[in-house]
Copies of this chain bind each other. A is one copy, B any other.
């Protein structure tokens, strides 16, 4: 541990995922003392049709 799950609608580039993973792992090590080698980060990229805010799917216009 820790296990971090990042869920977004839409997609991220590989470069964005790499940078986000590196920064969050660093945050958890620096702030909470969690060794980097124990930090798992899993990204879930959902279709916009599969995410709703305020009762509206995000692919609506």
A contact set with B: CB distance below 8 Å: 1-9, 12, 14, 16-28, 31-32, 34, 36-46, 49-60
Indicate if the CB atoms of A31 and B42 lie closer than 8 Å: no
Number of identical monomers bound together in the oligomeric complex: 6
User: Binding site of A, secondary structure by majority: helix, strand, loop or mixed?
Assistant: mixed
Cα distance, A5 to B41, chains bound together (Å):
10
**In the complex, are the beta carbons of A27 and B18 less than 8 A apart?**
no
Known: A37-B54, A56-B21. A16 touches B31 (CB 8 A): yes
A14 to B14 Cα, complex, angstroms? 28
**Residue from the set A6, A41, A44 with the largest chain B CB neighbour count within 10 Å:** A6
State whether A51 and B55 are in contact (beta carbons under 8 Å apart), knowing that A3-B7, A32-B16 are contacts in the complex. Answer: no
